[in-house]
Amino acid sequence: MSSLLVTGSIGIDTVESPAGKVEDALGGSSVYFAYAASFFTPVRLVGVVGDDCPEAFLAPLAENERIDLAGLEVRPGSKTFRWHGRYHEDVNERDTVAVELNVLAEVGPKIPDAFLDSEYVFLANTHPDLQMELLGQLGKPKLVVADTMDLWIRTEREKLAKLMERIDGLVLNDSEARMLTGKPNVIDAGHRIAQLVRRFVVVKKGEHGGVLFMDGKAYPLPGYPAALVVDPTGAGDTFAGAMMGCLAAGDAADAAALRRAIAYGTITASIELEDFSLKALQATTREAIDDRLAEFRGIVSF
């Protein structure tokens, strides 16, 4: 079992959806990633919060024995990242009501010396400069995967291109893939992006699953037919966490391992969106994830 590190945001979220509203909920890309990955392997979290973050707020992470918080920085005089989102009746549509970058607009966190030997690394969505800076702190990991978003594709395309040259894999959604390449066909776009990174690309298509692009081939996987969708916030980070956790646990990243890991990512994300914040993940088990995967395998085989 290899070491897995994630670096990304830790946030205080307010979320409105057709199912209700929560205020001051635990969120952030590294939070969802780490909790999902912990079902498969121990995970090292690197992130920063302000001194306005109550200690009890991070209890779901601190109480998880498979999440190492030695890389968590509480920065004096700074404020924690905040995000307020509102989902429409069609939860695929979302408005950002308010965002306060706060500590995320400052210098990034330092990776502890004890984490520098991490073999599997996930650079969760943030500014490409910060992703490059964090990557530069590490030794020679076996596998580095990053996430990105439309904002960086629009405003930091050159820096994103430089990052892509240094990473093994990229995770992004279908609209971002189209934006990055200017190609309307997702399969065409995915193949083109796969040529810009070292090994592979995963294009997420929301409720419709995703596609792995590797070695000139496309491997599609449908989404799990989720009937209960309460809060999709963090589903993409949960997907990535389960995927990377599965890869690190098996210490392999060939096409077969990636396809299996993507299936686990799809299933774990389908559980996460059944409640607000981390509640659904906190209420589930690895056995429940495996059971749903077995059901999924039966659905998609023919």
pLDDT tens for each residue of 73-120: 999 999 999 999 999 998 888 899 998 999 988 988 999 999 999 999
Distance in angstroms between the alpha carbons of the first and the last residue of the chain? 33
pLDDT tens for each residue of 22-65: 999 999 999 999 999 999 999 999 999 999 998 799 999 999 99
Contact at 8 Å (CB) between 123 and 134? yes
**pLDDT of 263 strictly over 70:** yes
Which residue segment(s) compose the domain that 160 sits in?
4-300
Averaged pLDDT score across all residues of the chain: 94
Q: Residue 123 — very low, low, confident or very high, per pLDDT cuts 50/70/90?
A: very high
Q: Which of 163, 167, 179 is nearest to 128 (CA)?
A: 163
| Joined tokens for residue 210 | 């995703």
CATH of the domain at 213: 3.40.1190.20
User: Which of 101-110, 199-208, 275-284 has maximum average pLDDT?
Assistant: 275-284
In this prediction the pTM is 0.95
Contacts of residue 127, Cβ cutoff 8 Å, sequence gap at least 6: 152, 156
**pLDDT of 1 strictly over 70:** no
**pLDDT of 191 strictly over 80:** yes
> Taking the CB of residue 284, how many other CB atoms lie within 10 A of it?
17
Q: Residue 174 — very low, low, confident or very high, per pLDDT cuts 50/70/90?
A: very high
Contacts of residue 300, Cβ cutoff 8 Å, sequence gap at least 6: 221, 222
* Total domains present in the chain: 1
- Tokens 């500590």, located at residue: 103
pLDDT tens for each residue of 227-259: 899 999 999 999 999 999 999 999 888 999 999
